[in-house]
Amino acid sequence: MGEIQLRAMSSEDATNLIARMAHDFALDQVAAGNWDAADAQRLAREEMARLLPQAERTDGMALLSAFDEDRFVGHVWLCLAPRIAQTGEAWLYDIEVEESARGRGYGRALLAAAEAEAARAGATFLGLNVFGVNRVAHSLYETSGYEVKATQMRKRLGD
């Protein structure tokens, strides 16, 4: 594995990614018990439209494709501004290694590339959220030096 290179995402790739992220986000929200399945896809599309109203051209957002030499290995979505100006913190909205490239260290390398991109933009911190059931991501973040800032908990009652 070489060094991960991040490149600005094409408009077509961004459109496809946003649709897939909305779909996956809806499924995650339903699985977490946050949204009703009947409304989840609509709510997820609305959230993506709010966060990325101009897709890959949205000010302060970076949708980046990740490559190992010329091989596409994943993507990252960073919020760089205005968060950095307000708090010094960039935000990692999404990071994913292509399924065919998993288990080879690309997750850690992609995370390091995202951190470097945020630092180049002036961030002193990189924040993120991760669903509680995503143990692989929890392990990656913990072993990469991330600290828990808050924990949300809940218990289903009555059943």
pLDDT in tens, 96-130: 999 999 999 999 999 999 999 999 999 999 999 99
Q: How confident is the model at residue 158 (pLDDT cuts 50, 70, 90)?
A: confident
Domain 4-143 maps to which CATH number in 3.20.20.80, 3.40.50.150, 1.25.40.10, 3.40.630.30?
3.40.630.30
Q: How confident is the model at residue 85 (pLDDT cuts 50, 70, 90)?
A: confident
| Domain residue ranges in the chain | 4-143
Vertex 93 angle, CA 62 and 108, to 5°: 90
Q: What is the pLDDT of residue 106?
A: 94
Q: What is the pLDDT of residue 119?
A: 96
Alpha helices in the chain (DSSP H): 11-31, 37-51, 83-87, 106-120, 135-143
Return d(Cα 143, Cα 136) in angstroms, integer.
11
CB 97 within 8 A of CB 74: yes
pTM above 0.95, yes or no: no
Return d(Cα 35, Cα 148) in angstroms, integer.
24
pLDDT tens readout for residues 24-77: 999 999 988 899 999 999 999 999 999 999 999 999 999 999 999 989 999 999
Question: Amino acid identity, residue 52?
Answer: L
